[in-house]
Structure 1
Amino acid sequence: MKDIRLQEVFALFYRLFLAFFFYQIARFLFWFFNRELIPIDSLSDYFSISYHGTAFDTTAILYVNSLFILLSLLPLVINTKKYYQKFLFYLYFITNGIAYGMNFGDFIYYRFSQARLTTAALNVAKHEDNIGKVFMVSVLEHPFVILWFIILMIFWIFLYKKVKVQEQKPVIKWKYFVFSVLNLCIVAALVVGGIRGDFKHSTRPINLVDANRHVKNPLQANVVLNSVFSFFRTMNTNNFKEVHFVNEKFIEVNIKPYKIYPRENIEPKPNVVIFIIESFGKEYSGAFNKSTKIKDFVSYTPFFDSLATHSLIATNAFANGRQSIHGMSSVLAGIPSLKDAFTSSPYSNQKIQSIVSVSNEMGYDTSFFHGAPNGSMGFLGFGNILGFKHYYGKTEYNNDADFDGMWGIWDEPFFQYFAKTLNTKKSPFMATMFSVSSHHPFKIPEKYKGKFKKGPLEIHEPIGYTDFALKKFFETAKKMPWYQNTIFVVVADHTNQIAYPEYEKAMNRFAIPILFYSPNPKYQLKGEITEPAQQMDIYPTLADLMGYNKKIRSWGRSLVSEKKEDYLIVNSSGVEQFMIGNYIYLFDGKDFTGIYDIKDLGYENNLLGKVKTPEITFGEQKSKAWYQDYMDRVINRKLN
């Protein structure tokens, strides 16, 4: 038994368990001292929050204890000796003591920041020369923080010493080394999964926005989180910094971050149904490629093409990000993804005006549908931030027979579930469907094998399947009483695989379709918009169509407004890309790295330093102004 090191493995897990135990105590104290700022209505709600917080604790504890875990299991033969165990003791409490202290510091910090500690705090602190004084005053004003920290650390040390590792020598060294390697491999796998927050390869590592999946009120997400997690998850990812390039008057006049679209009172109010289709790039649709003159072009979306002939379509539209969650924030809230995504930033958990909040204010029932396991992609968390009243995922669908084995419920049955669930809603309602099937590994249900064009790309067949699912949805929906007075939007979250050289061009890697359709002719949703458009334009367009006669915060523009508005298209390919007037500007947050003619979507002829006109000078200034306003509103929580 000595050679398989059971007592050492047991001691390791016991010591890690103590960390979980004390993190839960810190969570309770954090909430207790900030309970007036973070309302939790019942004991059961608190237990649910603390339970879900365990996943975030796991990531934090494993970050902090990675070296301790490694040194506890390495086959060094001397591991059980007193001096080695004493070394581990000091390593454990120095690292965990510092980390635990961060949680206690948040008891006070939260009152000022209204957010958990992140690396953004370092950017604030480095501009302050009195930070030491502020810290000391805070400690003197709140001595209980230091007192509780000392008491709990003493108790932690006491419990740690209750389980000791007795000195042993391996009897059969080969067995000792073999079991040591096995222990290391097993624990390493557990550590990797624990740090990610999930063992599934189909999900990204959890981040701050995921805390909102488990709460009724976005403020409660701060109790789900812990300070170590929020700090580590934002390390080396925060390029959000305030800048000052222009005066506020220039921003007000040329960026127009607030807009109003007055309309006569619209009654009855239209229902709004938004389809955000996974990877549904412009390249795959014939209706959106009539002017591209691509030789031997093949469309994989026959229904979507037919729907486009009865719709208002933007044929020169772009995504504002590269990932699904970026598409969600851009479409619904008009917040794009720059070099660093807003949704995984330290600033994501704030009050945000969006088409969801506008709908809620107008008395709409609001809901979000996504056939994946609830919380996948961060949608549930961000949906809670936006204020959706209802969330429908794989759990609510409750039939794993239709699960695709990877991402979620196949689109066809889940779209039918979507239509039937909407039929139970009282109008007006606003609902968003985020599809799942047109996603790697690009499969379709067995019963449809051979039904859809395969094409040269793997994605072509599932695009055809999702188009078919969309057709079946409309066939079902048009029989329902709410259908006639509904505005439908179909848009891609981002692009995916590329077959044609035209879409290999840098800017066209963001090229997507945007379609507005309503069977009700009073909304006049027919025709083609050839000027550049973007996902961020959807929110103001819908607010306009719904008759929201109040000011909205929007960097996009209404595509149906009678008043002329200049377009400003923004996204990022590592540097920020602005499409303004006749040029595209590439900006790294400090300097311009490229300026291209608007037709030069492949960025072949850089005009930077070669051409200087009043239009280019103004475009540069406008790009900087937009960037300045974006940073100001995100960092200083002005997105409402």
Structure 2
Amino acid sequence: MPTLRHAQLRYLSLLLGLWLVAFVLTRTALLLSHWQEAGTGASGLLTVYGVGLLYDLAYLAFAAVPLGVYLLLCPERIWTSRWHRAWLQLLLAISLYAMLFTAVAEWLFWDEFGVRFNFIAVDYLVYSDEVVNNILESYPIYPLLALLALLALVVAAALQRPLRQALDAPLLPWRGRLAAIASLTGMALGVALTVGQDFPRSSGGNAYQRELASNGPFQFFAAFRNNELDYQQFYATLPEAEVAAQLRREISEPNARFIGSDPLDIRRVIDNPGQPKALNVVLVTIESLSAKYMGSFGDTRGLTPNLDELRRQSLFFNNFYATGTRTDRGLEAITLSVPPTPGRSIVKRIGRESGFASLGQQLAAQGYDSAFLYGGRGYFDNMSAFFSGNGYRVVDQSSVDEADIHFKNAWGMADEDLYRLAIKEADNDHAASKPFFLQLMTTSNHRPYTYPEGRIDIPSGDGREGAVKYTDHAIGGFLRAARGKPWFDNTLFVFVADHTAGSAGSQDLPVASYHIPLFIYGPKLVKPHEVSMIASQIDIAPTLLGLLNLDYVSTFYGRNLLRHDAKPGRALIGNYQHLGLFDGKDLAILSPRGVVRRHDDALQLSRESQVSSDDSLVARDIAYYQGASHAYGHALLSWLPKPPASTRLSQR
């Protein structure tokens, strides 16, 4: 039988033991940084370290296979050579460096997102140019890497004695080597069959404890496989007839006619009363603008004077929520009016991200110039492919002359430059007597929080506070410039955040962390007042088309919030695993493995309880997400260039 007396297994166990120590120390450091939020009593510590050990060993079971196979198949002649011993010593030092690097990377990722590595980290590898430049501009990365290298060498030197003892031990005979390989492979297969990415994350309780109990590298590699989740396989469902009936109650409007034969097909003719209005629309999606930063919501730092004034002049929605935690989720909801189905957003489902009945496509069919303007490079988050495939003309940083970009950082041009670009595009369309729909995506309110010097009284790169104030400053300048244009009086300006600045918390879906502002501004078009109805980003598209009095065939899951017959509010919020519906007081959450929960008084005490799918709030939650997942999978969200004759629209 293979034992740790033999050289190959002693060396392998030394490396794996060091990785295990690194994982425990990383978990401890993250725990200490959020000790109070994690609620770590005796049971909490047992969860964090007990389940954590399971995850650590699961990852090491996978990691041990390739290295173990190499060590066990290495011939004795090569094993005993001087160059091979030197290589194994170097491999130990490299492994130590990788451990330290991983620990620091986990700390920085946790600081940004409040979770272990997930599919966001995978995306960061895909879009490495923006991410690397962002890291270089945000942290003293080169001194940090040098320090990690020095620490790795120091620890490697301290481990020379146990390393020599391992290398000098007798080699395992060939029969024992084959048995060891079989054991390693069997353990890896056992882990693959029993330990999944969603365990124990789907079971409720304190989200910090569950994230701390995870293993970052394990979650990172699992995310390669699980960035899309099949709703029927992983989540609670209801019979199709019940889902269809519930959905129609949720989204039906007076005079709306459902036209699909599939019970879960929500395509319907929307009849907005009145003559259509050929108004221009400028929709600005603002990076990471939490409602809590606004002075009118109680912030005392004076960061948003322009937005606070704009609130008084606009149709303002004060109980409005982002659907997700990332830019692509916000763009998906605003553009397609769909709930945040599990896994990655439709924007990034490469090869299946186009052909939808988007807001831009609807307006383009009415003769608008629908354009997506992005301050960065459109390949990031697959934006160019998504928008160009769904009725938009894409204008990004690469479309702009360098002379017109006065400041840029890792993520793209400063907001001022983007707004100047929007003014130029609007001028061109107005000169051509063409109505325009410009959908903008800003970048300045994002780490590294850099912007042109001298604009505000907070130095560039000083943190989120300065970035928010610069964002507000740029919006004020944009509106002042627009007011001098001949197209201003005929233009609706919409300002909304893509998501908040942070959504981490002790709960899976901390509702308050999804709260964002929505402004609809047009001094001669919209009467200023506030709307208190609970709503989310999926409601923007139908509300705008309602303001324009346009009839259309809708695939939208949102509602026109301005109809007098509007139903009680609700907000669809989620992350890549947990799917929620908030009714203004209580929150229903659907999680993998069919787990269903309810949070009563979600904004305050948030009392969690396990419930069944018979619960009325849960049934509404299931209807939206089961219906949307079905519609996406069965191409029921597609754009129909020529609707069937029975659904032809006649504006009046």
Which of 617, 621, 625 lines up with 1:623 in the alignment?
Answer: 621
The answer to whether the 8 Å contact 1:452/1:464 transfers is: no
TM-fit CA distance, 1:310: 1.0
Which of 279, 288, 305 lines up with 1:279 in the alignment?
Answer: 288
* Residue matched to 2:231: 241
**Alpha-carbon separation, structure 1, partners of 2:71 and 2:410:** 36
TM-fit CA distance, 1:592: 5.5
SS at match of 1:200: helix
The answer to whether the 8 Å contact 1:332/1:356 transfers is: yes
Structure 2 residue 316 is matched with structure 1 residue 313: yes
Which residues in structure 2 correspond to 1:57-72 (within 5 Å)? none
* Residue matched to 1:402: 406
- Counterpart of 2:478, as a letter, is F
Structure 2 residue 431 is matched with structure 1 residue 428: no
**Alpha-carbon separation, structure 2, partners of 1:476 and 1:565:** 38
Q: Deviations over 1:201-250 (max 9, x none)?
A: 6179xxxxxxxxxxxxxxxxxxxxxxxxxxx9862232123454340344
Structure 2 residue 368 is matched with structure 1 residue 364: yes
The answer to whether the 8 Å contact 2:339/2:625 transfers is: no
The answer to whether the 8 Å contact 1:593/1:608 transfers is: yes
Which structure 1 residue ranges, 4+ long, deviate > 6 Å from structure 2?
66-81, 169-185, 192-195, 501-505
Instruction: Go from structure 1 to structure 2 and tell me whether the alpha carbon gap of 1:549 and 1:179 turns closer, same or farther (over 3 Å shift).
Output: same
TM-fit CA distance, 1:452: 7.8
SS at match of 2:376: coil
* Residue matched to 2:586: 583
The answer to whether the 8 Å contact 1:397/1:417 transfers is: no
- Counterpart of 2:488, as a letter, is Y
Which residues in structure 2 correspond to 1:45-56 (within 5 Å)? none
**Alpha-carbon separation, structure 2, partners of 1:458 and 1:315:** 26
Q: Deviations over 1:339-363 (max 9, x none)?
A: 4133244784242112111011101
- Counterpart of 2:391, as a letter, is G
The 10-residue stretch of structure 1 (313-322 or 384-393) with the greater mean CA deviation from structure 2: 384-393
* Residue matched to 2:520: 516
Which residues in structure 2 correspond to 1:235-384 (within 5 Å)? 235-242=225-232, 243-247=237-241, 248-256=244-252, 257-258=266-267, 260-267=270-277, 269-287=278-296, 289=297, 297-343=300-346, 344-345=348-349, 348-384=352-388
Which of 384, 393, 408 lines up with 1:389 in the alignment?
Answer: 393
**Alpha-carbon separation, structure 1, partners of 2:402 and 2:426:** 17
Instruction: Go from structure 1 to structure 2 and tell me whether the alpha carbon gap of 1:422 and 1:503 turns closer, same or farther (over 3 Å shift).
Output: farther
Which of 403, 414, 428 lines up with 2:418 in the alignment?
Answer: 414
TM-fit CA distance, 1:80: 13
Which of 557, 560, 564 lines up with 2:559 in the alignment?
Answer: 557
SS at match of 1:314: strand
Instruction: Go from structure 1 to structure 2 and tell me whether the alpha carbon gap of 1:514 and 1:507 turns closer, same or farther (over 3 Å shift).
Output: same
**Alpha-carbon separation, structure 2, partners of 1:172 and 1:253:** 73
- Counterpart of 1:511, as a letter, is H
The two structures have a TM-score, normalised by structure 2, of 0.59
TM-fit CA distance, 1:621: 2.2
The answer to whether the 8 Å contact 2:321/2:516 transfers is: yes
The answer to whether the 8 Å contact 1:594/1:608 transfers is: yes
- Counterpart of 2:615, as a letter, is T
- Counterpart of 1:532, as a letter, is I
TM-fit CA distance, 1:550: 2.1
* Residue matched to 1:202: 131
The answer to whether the 8 Å contact 1:271/1:487 transfers is: yes
* Residue matched to 1:634: 632
SS at match of 1:309: helix
**Alpha-carbon separation, structure 2, partners of 1:533 and 1:590:** 28
TM-fit CA distance, 1:459: 0.9
Which of 456, 472, 476 lines up with 1:467 in the alignment?
Answer: 472
Which residues in structure 2 correspond to 1:452-491 (within 5 Å)? 458-491=463-496
**Alpha-carbon separation, structure 2, partners of 1:80 and 1:563:** 83
- Counterpart of 2:464, as a letter, is I
- After superposition, the CA RMSD in angstroms is 4.4
* Residue matched to 1:530: 532
The answer to whether the 8 Å contact 1:487/1:517 transfers is: yes
Instruction: Go from structure 1 to structure 2 and tell me whether the alpha carbon gap of 1:180 and 1:193 turns closer, same or farther (over 3 Å shift).
Output: farther
The two structures have a TM-score, normalised by structure 1, of 0.60
* Residue matched to 2:572: 570
TM-fit CA distance, 1:422: 1.8
TM-fit CA distance, 1:376: 1.9
Structure 2 residue 544 is matched with structure 1 residue 546: no
Instruction: Go from structure 1 to structure 2 and tell me whether the alpha carbon gap of 1:449 and 1:394 turns closer, same or farther (over 3 Å shift).
Output: farther
**Alpha-carbon separation, structure 1, partners of 2:486 and 2:66:** 61
* Residue matched to 2:143: none
**Alpha-carbon separation, structure 2, partners of 1:72 and 1:194:** 30
The answer to whether the 8 Å contact 1:262/1:544 transfers is: yes
TM-fit CA distance, 1:582: 4.9
**Alpha-carbon separation, structure 2, partners of 1:172 and 1:302:** 67
**Alpha-carbon separation, structure 1, partners of 2:596 and 2:458:** 47
- Counterpart of 2:483, as a letter, is K
- Counterpart of 2:520, as a letter, is F
**Alpha-carbon separation, structure 2, partners of 1:502 and 1:530:** 27
**Alpha-carbon separation, structure 2, partners of 1:437 and 1:493:** 13
Which residues in structure 2 correspond to 1:585-624 (within 5 Å)? 585-588=588-591, 591=594, 593-597=596-600, 599-602=601-604, 604-606=606-608, 608=610, 617-624=615-622
The 10-residue stretch of structure 1 (343-352 or 192-201) with the greater mean CA deviation from structure 2: 192-201
Q: Percent identity?
A: 20
Q: Deviations over 1:404-425 (max 9, x none)?
A: 3311111112211221222111
Instruction: Go from structure 1 to structure 2 and tell me whether the alpha carbon gap of 1:507 and 1:74 turns closer, same or farther (over 3 Å shift).
Output: same
Instruction: Go from structure 1 to structure 2 and tell me whether the alpha carbon gap of 1:576 and 1:440 turns closer, same or farther (over 3 Å shift).
Output: same
Q: Deviations over 1:435-470 (max 9, x none)?
A: 00100122232333635899xx93111111011111
The answer to whether the 8 Å contact 1:234/1:345 transfers is: no
Instruction: Go from structure 1 to structure 2 and tell me whether the alpha carbon gap of 1:173 and 1:580 turns closer, same or farther (over 3 Å shift).
Output: closer
SS at match of 1:448: coil
Instruction: Go from structure 1 to structure 2 and tell me whether the alpha carbon gap of 1:202 and 1:629 turns closer, same or farther (over 3 Å shift).
Output: same
Task: Specify every segment of 5 or more residues in structure 1 that has no aligned partner in the other structure, as ranges.
Answer: 1-65, 82-168, 205-231
**Alpha-carbon separation, structure 2, partners of 1:75 and 1:401:** 58
- Counterpart of 1:363, as a letter, is G
SS at match of 1:325: helix
Give the aligned length. Answer: 444
Which residues in structure 2 correspond to 1:37-116 (within 5 Å)? none
TM-fit CA distance, 1:587: 1.8
* Residue matched to 2:450: 443
TM-fit CA distance, 1:400: 8.4
Instruction: Go from structure 1 to structure 2 and tell me whether the alpha carbon gap of 1:495 and 1:446 turns closer, same or farther (over 3 Å shift).
Output: same
**Alpha-carbon separation, structure 2, partners of 1:194 and 1:635:** 23
**Alpha-carbon separation, structure 2, partners of 1:71 and 1:623:** 47
